[in-house]
């Protein structure tokens, strides 16, 4: 799919990474649970539709980008399991049936599983974006990993659209410093230390320059929480308009 934002080739590296994820994972999941930066609710909500629609939650793009299709099935059973696990850990969760999968889900999954043959359930962020809460949410969901469910945090490790095109040395330096900090934190071999560092992410160099609002970072916290003792590793690294971006895998 041709990029509609940025110069030619800007998204090629990320697209190649997403297309290769199935091989990188090495095992076909029973389903995917996706925590997208583009859905926030007062408290966590699970999209439990059996036949999920698509939510075109972007504006000003060419007409063809609003005609995309991705006919993946949902899984009400796994959605119910997600709610049960959260509630067993003292986290109240709602169920949603009408919203649709947002572009933080269907765009990457069109590349990861182009045949739309892996059921998808989406889980919202909680609107306060509290790091400790979202790590706890991930810990509650960890049993899903042994049940064949792939847990995916969908966001961006750099998300300051106002400064994305800036070539100011200070902005570039802060973006690089934050990316290096995030790599060290995610790959920290001790899970408790890793989680403490992620909770205190605002103290990292360049943190608020890279994330004026943390909605695109918090999905990583859910994935890290679900990792239990598994060590993270960076499995994607590139630059976009000079800004470093990274992705991480746990387990």
In a domain? residue 3 = no
Question: Which pLDDT tens digits describe the chain residue by residue (251 residues)?
Answer: 444 566 778 889 999 999 999 999 988 999 999 999 999 999 999 999 999 999 999 888 889 889 999 999 999 999 999 999 999 999 999 999 999 999 999 999 999 999 999 999 999 999 999 999 999 999 999 999 999 999 999 999 999 999 998 999 999 999 999 999 999 999 999 999 999 999 999 999 999 999 999 999 999 999 999 998 999 999 999 999 889 999 999 98
In a domain? residue 4 = no
In a domain? residue 5 = no
In a domain? residue 138 = yes
In a domain? residue 48 = yes
Residue 43: CB atoms within 10 A of its CB come to: 14
User: What is the number of structural domains in the chain?
Assistant: 1
C-beta separation of 116 from 171 below 8 A: no
pLDDT of residue 9: 80
In a domain? residue 178 = yes
pLDDT of residue 4: 54
Residues in a beta bridge with 96 = 47
The residue assigned the tokens 């918090």 is 218
**Whole-prediction pTM value?**
0.94
Residue 193: CB atoms within 10 A of its CB come to: 11
In a domain? residue 128 = yes
Q: Residue 78's domain is classified under what CATH number? A: 3.40.830.10
User: Please, which residues have CB within 8 angstroms of residue 174's CB and are 6 or more apart in sequence?
Assistant: 205, 206, 209, 210
In a domain? residue 7 = no
Residue 159 sits at φ, ψ, to 5 deg, of -145, 75
Whole domain around residue 143: which residue ranges?
12-250
């Amino acid at each position: 799919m041709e990029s509609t934002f940025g110069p030619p080739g800007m998204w090629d590296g990320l697209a190649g990474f997403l297309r290769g994820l199935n091989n990188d994972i090495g095992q076909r999941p029973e389903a995917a649970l996706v925590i997208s930066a583009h859905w926030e609710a007062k408290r966590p909500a699970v999209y439990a539709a059996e036949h999920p629609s698509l939510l075109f939650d972007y504006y000003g793009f060419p007409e063809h980008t609003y005609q995309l299709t991705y006919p993946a099935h949902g899984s009400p059973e796994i959605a119910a399991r997600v709610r049960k696990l959260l509630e067993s850990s003292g986290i109240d969760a709602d169920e949603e049936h009408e919203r649709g999968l947002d572009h933080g889900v269907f765009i990457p999954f069109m590349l990861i599983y182009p045949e739309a043959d892996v059921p998808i359930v989406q889980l919202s962020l909680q609107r306060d974006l509290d790091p400790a809460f979202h790590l706890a949410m991930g810990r509650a969901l960890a049993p899903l990993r042994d049940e064949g469910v792939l847990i995916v945090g969908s966001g961006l490790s750099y998300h300051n659209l106002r400064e994305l095109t800036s070539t100011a040395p200070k902005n570039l330096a802060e973006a690089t410093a934050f990316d290096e900090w995030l790599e060290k934190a995610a790959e920290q071999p001790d899970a408790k230390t890793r989680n403490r560092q992620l909770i205190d992410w605002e103290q990292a160099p360049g943190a608020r320059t890279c994330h004026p609002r943390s909605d695109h970072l918090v999905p990583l916290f859910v994935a890290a929480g679900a990792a239990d003792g598994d060590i993270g590793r960076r499995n994607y690294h590139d630059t976009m308009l000079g800004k470093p971006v990274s992705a991480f895998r746990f387990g």
